[in-house]
């Protein structure tokens, strides 16, 4: 049911009041507003100000007596943008509205940013008799914007320097790798490293002593320059201790040395192997499984050796395993980048998929095996760029 309104109160509009009351109320309203309001006379030379409200006085520090009869350019200085000044002048010449942000100065000389809107006022014949100017203090907003620009520029410069540092670190990382693969009559080797956008810490190395090959593959914790630094130190230590007979002794020596270097929260996972024609002695310091394919049995086994990354607990007792080698046996060594590479739904590839894939392709040549592995990684990720370094080393007994 609709309620009936009876005796509605009649609203008295401003236009219904006497003219003198209308003018008085409008003048009070103009005086009360926070914005500065000026009216200039376009029919007089130099378009002088003929009205200024109290908001203008508060904004600029000038009294009405100071400004009446003058052009508003007294608010400008040599620091005011000339292009903005010309935009205002052009709008007045063409008798059209404009809105600009202009640097003005108060009576005491302090600068402020003025959001200035100018609107032409026309008489009955269409002639522009006056210009209405509305000024708003936007200094705080401009200062905030300028601060953001400065911070943005500083970040841009820092990012540029960081990018250069990362490029240098990547070059250093790649320089740590062997120039060429070792050639041994009983062993066929293939290697592939896919570097992430950010410098990682993957590393591999070889050393030949007669018919014996010492092989290392490692992965530093973290990324960036720190990872590159510990890789450099590890390579130096590998070269220093590589002639030791036992891989466990090499790992211990490197671990103690890294600890003494004082790397803070930085460690190096590493797998070490001494390989001859008849056997392989394998030891690991926190690296992923090694996958071994027995050609005679056509089976794949993952070799799991416990160990903590180098530089963490120097007294840790590492394990080793001695493996007899036969023709056709194939070994897959890798960093954790492959197992932990995510698909578009952030699901990891995982060790089980690696083992299953290796079982299907282990009878092929090392180069073909790596080709299959890298293609599987690209397909899984939906693109070629890994988040983390991804290193594959495949060895096949001839």
Question: pLDDT digit string (tens) for 231-277?
Answer: 889 999 999 999 999 999 999 999 999 999 988 888 999 999 999 99
292 and 379 share one domain: yes
Integer Cα distance of 303 and 95 in angstroms: 86
Burial of 311 (0-12, 13-18, 19+ CB in 10 A): buried
Closest alpha carbon to 228 in 199, 269, 198: 199
- pLDDT value for 15: 61
Closest alpha carbon to 354 in 366, 328, 336: 336
Give the domain CATH number at 132.
Answer: 3.30.450.20
Integer Cα distance of 252 and 247 in angstroms: 9
Task: Mark which of 121, 137, 153 sits at the end of a domain.
Answer: 137
190 and 334 share one domain: yes
Residues in the chain: 398
The Cβ of residue 353 has, within 10 Å, a number of other Cβ atoms equal to 14
Could you tell me if 319 and 304 are in contact, meaning their C-beta atoms sit under 8 angstroms apart?
Answer: no
Contacts of 60 (CB under 8 A, 6+ apart): 36, 67, 75, 104, 106, 107, 135
pTM of the model: 0.63
Mark residue 69 as left, alpha or beta (left: phi above 0; alpha: psi -120 to 50; beta: remaining): left
- pLDDT value for 27: 67
- pLDDT value for 262: 85
> 166 lies in a domain?
no
Question: pLDDT digit string (tens) for 354-377?
Answer: 999 999 999 999 999 999 999 999
> 94 lies in a domain?
yes
Integer Cα distance of 305 and 323 in angstroms: 13
114 and 184 share one domain: no
Q: What angle do CA 106, 112, 117 make, to 5 degrees?
A: 95
128 and 191 share one domain: no
> 162 lies in a domain?
no
Beta bridge partners of 101: 115
Give the domain CATH number at 317.
Answer: 3.60.40.10
220 and 364 share one domain: yes
Q: What domain range includes position 258? A: 176-397
Task: Mark which of 137, 161, 189 sits at the end of a domain.
Answer: 137
Residue whose entry in the numeric block shows the structure tokens 């009041």:
17
> 180 lies in a domain?
yes
> 234 lies in a domain?
yes
Write out the DSSP string of 166-188.
HHHHHHHHHHTS-SS---BTTEE
Angle of helix 224-241 relative to helix 139-175, nearest 10 degrees, comes to 20
199 and 296 share one domain: yes
Number of structural domains in the chain? 2
Write out the two tokens for 117.
């809107």
CA distances from 204 to 90, 146, 181, 217 (A): 70, 49, 11, 4
Regions of the chain with pLDDT less than 50:
1
The Cβ of residue 21 has, within 10 Å, a number of other Cβ atoms equal to 11
- pLDDT value for 232: 86
125 and 218 share one domain: no
> 23 lies in a domain?
yes
**DSSP code at position 14:** G
182 and 103 share one domain: no
Integer Cα distance of 170 and 234 in angstroms: 16
> 161 lies in a domain?
no
248 and 389 share one domain: yes
- pLDDT value for 328: 96
131 and 210 share one domain: no
Integer Cα distance of 350 and 347 in angstroms: 9
133 and 197 share one domain: no
Burial of 87 (0-12, 13-18, 19+ CB in 10 A): middle
89 and 225 share one domain: no
Task: Mark which of 137, 160, 194 sits at the end of a domain.
Answer: 137
Per DSSP bridges, beta strands 279-285 and 320-324 are antiparallel
> 335 lies in a domain?
yes
């Amino acid at each position: 049911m609709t309620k009936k309104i009876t005796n509605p109160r009649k609203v008295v509009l401003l236009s219904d009041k006497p003219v003198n009351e209308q003018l008085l109320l409008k003048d009070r309203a103009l005086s009360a507003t926070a914005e500065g309001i000026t009216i200039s006379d376009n029919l007089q030379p130099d378009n002088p100000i003929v009205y200024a409200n109290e908001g203008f006085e508060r904004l600029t520090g000038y009294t009405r007596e100071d400004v009446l009869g003058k052009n508003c350019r007294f608010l400008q200085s040599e620091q005011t943008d000339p292009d903005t000044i010309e935009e205002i002048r052009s709008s007045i010449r063409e008798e059209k509205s404009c809105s600009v942000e202009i640097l003005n100065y108060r009576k005491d000389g302090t600068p402020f940013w003025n959001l200035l809107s100018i609107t032409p006022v026309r008489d009955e014949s269409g002639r522009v008799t006056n210009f209405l100017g509305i000024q708003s203090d936007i200094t705080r907003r401009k200062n905030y914007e300028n601060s953001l620009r400065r911070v943005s520029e500083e970040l841009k410069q820092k990012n540029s320097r960081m990018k250069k540092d990362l490029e240098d670190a990547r070059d250093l990382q790649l320089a740590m790798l062997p120039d060429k693969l070792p050639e041994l009559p009983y062993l066929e080797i293939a290697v592939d490293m896919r570097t992430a956008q950010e410098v990682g810490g993957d590393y591999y190395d070889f050393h030949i002593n007669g018919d014996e090959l010492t092989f290392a593959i490692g992965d530093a914790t973290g990324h960036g320059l720190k990872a590159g630094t510990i890789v450099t130190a590890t390579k130096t230590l590998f070269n220093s201790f590589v002639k030791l007979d036992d891989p466990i002794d090499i790992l211990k020596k490197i671990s103690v040395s890294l600890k003494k270097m004082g790397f803070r929260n930085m460690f190096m996972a590493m797998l070490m192997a001494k390989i001859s024609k008849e056997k392989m002695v394998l030891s690991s310091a926190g690296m992923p499984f090694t996958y071994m394919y027995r050609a005679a049995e056509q089976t794949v086994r993952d070799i799991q050796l416990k160990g903590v990354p180098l530089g963490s607990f120097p007294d840790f007792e590492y394990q080793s395993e001695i493996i007899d080698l036969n023709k056709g046996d194939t070994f897959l060594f890798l960093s954790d980048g492959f197992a932990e590479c995510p698909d578009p739904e952030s699901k990891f590839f995982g060790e089980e998929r690696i083992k299953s894939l290796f079982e299907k392709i282990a009878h092929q040549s090392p180069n073909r095996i790596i080709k299959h592995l890298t293609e599987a990684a690209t397909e899984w990720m939906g693109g070629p760029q890994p988040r983390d370094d991804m290193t594959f080393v495949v060895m096949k007994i001839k």
